[in-house]
Structure 1
Amino acid sequence: MRRRYAYYWAKLIGLPLLVIAALAVFVLIGDTWWQLITAVVLGVLFTQVAFLGHDAAHRQIFASGKWNDWTSLVIGDLFVGMSYGWWRHRHSRHHANPNKLGTDPDTELPVIPLTPERVQRRNRVLRWLAAHQGLFFFPILPLQGVALHAASVQRVLSRDPVDRRWVEILLIGFRLIGYGVLVFLVLSPALALAFLAVQLGVFGFYMGASFAPNHKGMMMAPADGKIGFLQRQVLTSRNIRGNRLLDIAMGGLNYQIEHHLFPSMPRPHLRKAAPIVAEYCRARGIPYTETTLLQSYAIVIRYINRVGLGERDPFDCPLVAQRRAV
């Protein structure tokens, strides 16, 4: 318990201070193209802060649910510009049914279709693009930063029920508008646009490259499939093998199997839990997938390419087929 609190308090204090320090350096440097380096640094820092907000939203930091909620709210909305309400609405459905068609929102990406059926519903030009979508996967990841901010704003301004709507509107508004005004006050218009493009691009690429290896290319469960909790979470998830530096870089998302089995487990404990879970799965004949980061990206690219060509799911699992009628 002490290790958990020490770990998270260091991040809760350290990361916001680093963001504030980076913004102070940004103001001090002034109108120079060297600011693009600052943009890269801020893109990385905002992603690391988003990982911390992800931990708080999963109740990993504090024992109190309210403390976790408000921590995630402040971190996500004020420091990153992402709506906690939007994230909770989307991410909760993903955790309940990962890679399940028609249920997991992460299987319905607007740009890259993940099932042959979605490819067939597109026109000829879009089907051609889908057939070559592996080439576009990494180039479009930088756009994810803009997409995340846009989805957050759309969510808090929508007619759907949103807890603490006005708190989120105020925090996100202050973050997005205030940050944009600061950038244009310090930099000339052309440089300001370049700065925002680099910062948002790094943020989007880093976020997308950290989340993509976790489920893409793993078993896709059909809408009518019936499968137990353990198999559902393990067979649809993939761990990324690496050292503690990778743990930091990926915000603990490299232990995706353990995270899905125990969503509230604090991030520093995932590394110790992984070998225990792996042995438990092996003893019961449940495939436990673990690869390197580069191998995972290769699996993702190969999978979306094959789907884009209209092939059936190459990772279709016989276990799911057997249990559809259960």
Structure 2
Amino acid sequence: MNTKTMTIGPRSMEEMAAFERELDAIREEVKPTLGERDARYIRGILRLVRTTETLGRALLMFGWFPPTFLLGAFLLGISKIVDNMELGHNVMHGQFSWMNDPRFQGDTFDWDNTCPKEEWRHAHNFVHHTYTNVIGKDRDFGYGMLRLSNDLRWSWLHPFQLLLTFLLAAFFEWFVAIHDMQMDKVVIGRRKWADVQPQWKLVRAKIWRQVRKDYIAWPLAGLAVGALFGHATDTALAVLCGNLIGNFIRNFWAWAIIFCGHFTDDIYTFSRESIENETKGQWYLRQILGSSNIKGSKLLHLLSGNLSHQVEHHLYPDIPANRYIEMAPKVRAVCAKYRVPYNTGYFIPQLLTVFKRIARYSLPGGSQKAVTIEVDSMLPEKA
């Protein structure tokens, strides 16, 4: 193992406290300004989701004509992307609960996804955001399947992880649905099936709801509409395939954005011991070191659910994501002041480093960069 030691971040408890105060101040500057502008924004996102879904599904009713089929499937995929990324993910963080609008309440909102909202809020909002990149605590680091750091032991499964990654990306919503059940531990005997039965009941109900909608109800509607034009079977098949393609579009995109958020070259991992007695400033530091941003256009920010600002999202998960673009320069300035790396890059280069990581750690060993933070005993490791 090639290890290189370097010093980053605040170098005293006084500096760490100042670092914490400056990041707190960015939040406190934004919170009083939340209001109608943000409410209009999220209401517009909901209209966008509904409009693209309506147009996509309507076009699929004439899916026996290839251009109509392709456009319908594409619009349905866009609707599902925006529903999951910019609407569902952010609303379920409670970013818009202050509106007191039942459509945007974080604890009751549900999305177009096989993952139950309750499972997502626990696995993502609590576990992942609390223990970001802490090996053995953050199950999003590798999703119980992939070896993405030499902190994790190599096994016979890992040479196949490029193939596993493709399957994970293609069926991302299905893997996310069972993610909190920790099925990898059930398979190796560390959890009993009886322990996950209550979760499985919840997951099974949500899966059935999505399957019934996308693969039974809408194709049957296509069968009825198609019969009016003499294309009953063709229309039903077009609707079925269009829903399947729309879900694949959403799955691949969500996978790519999420993996670019935590698995690029320049992210760091942490041991369980390193977060003992962790202060808020140290938690802030860990979120920054464990996250990666994506540079791009407003359209990219929208379609990524503003997870293109993953650093800001992990610092301020309850602040409306449409505000991250104005917070990012201030966060970056604080990072520069306190010698904290701020990882950002364009989408394709960031994604290529993700594939590089997946390929490298499919083999035994792997280099890492140890980082000394001269405050307490917080010692993250660059994977």
- Name the TM-score, length of structure 2 as normaliser: 0.70
Q: Secondary structure at the match of 1:222?
A: coil
Deviations 1:261-316 (A, max 9, x none): 11111122100100001101111111111111122112212222222222345354
- Among 173, 182, 186, the residue aligned to 2:217: 182
Q: Secondary structure at the match of 1:105?
A: coil
Give yes or no for contact 1:56–1:68 (8 Å, CA) kept in 2.
no
**Residue number in structure 2 paired with 1:308:** 362
Give yes or no for contact 1:97–1:232 (8 Å, CA) kept in 2.
no
Distance 1:81 1:308, change over 3 A: closer
How far apart are 1:20 and its partner, in Å?
Answer: 2.8
Q: Which amino acid aligns with 1:57?
A: M
Q: In the TM superposition, what are the counterparts of 1:31-110 in structure 2 within 5 Å?
A: 31=64, 35-51=69-85, 52-63=87-98, 67=102, 70=105, 73-76=108-111, 79-91=112-124, 92-110=126-144
When Rg is computed on C-alpha atoms for both structures, the one with the higher figure is: 2
Distance 1:117 1:284 in 2: 27
Deviations 1:34-91 (A, max 9, x none): 5354223212211110121111111112306884774674441xx3343111111110
Distance 1:14 1:109 in 2: 31
Distance 1:153 1:12, change over 3 A: farther
More RCO (CA 8 Å, sep 6+): 2
How far apart are 1:324 and its partner, in Å?
Answer: 4.6
2:280 corresponds to 1:203 = no
**Residue number in structure 1 paired with 2:5:** none
Give yes or no for contact 1:53–1:72 (8 Å, CA) kept in 2.
no
Q: In the TM superposition, what are the counterparts of 1:205-284 in structure 2 within 5 Å?
A: 205-217=252-264, 218-226=267-275, 228-284=282-338
**Residue number in structure 1 paired with 2:148:** 114
2:53 corresponds to 1:23 = no
Distance 2:244 2:49 in 1: 22
Distance 1:74 1:175 in 2: 16
Q: Secondary structure at the match of 2:134?
A: coil
For structure 1, the 5+ residue unaligned runs are none
Aligned residues: 312
- Name the TM-score, length of structure 1 as normaliser: 0.81
Distance 1:9 1:66, change over 3 A: closer
Q: Secondary structure at the match of 1:41?
A: helix
Distance 1:223 1:275 in 2: 31
How far apart are 1:10 and its partner, in Å?
Answer: 1.1
For structure 2, the 5+ residue unaligned runs are 1-34, 184-194, 223-232
How far apart are 1:170 and its partner, in Å?
Answer: 6.7
Distance 2:70 2:312 in 1: 37
Distance 2:314 2:47 in 1: 27
Give yes or no for contact 1:221–1:320 (8 Å, CA) kept in 2.
no
Q: Secondary structure at the match of 1:116?
A: coil
2:160 corresponds to 1:129 = yes
Give yes or no for contact 2:306–2:324 (8 Å, CA) kept in 1.
yes
The structure whose residues are more often helix, as a share, is 1
Q: Which amino acid aligns with 1:129?
A: F
Distance 1:230 1:14, change over 3 A: same
How far apart are 1:104 and its partner, in Å?
Answer: 0.6
Distance 1:8 1:289, change over 3 A: same
Distance 1:202 1:297 in 2: 17
Q: Secondary structure at the match of 1:60?
A: coil
Distance 2:205 2:145 in 1: 30
Provide the identity percentage. 20
RMSD (Å) for aligned C-alpha atoms: 3.4
Distance 1:184 1:257, change over 3 A: same
Distance 1:298 1:190 in 2: 36
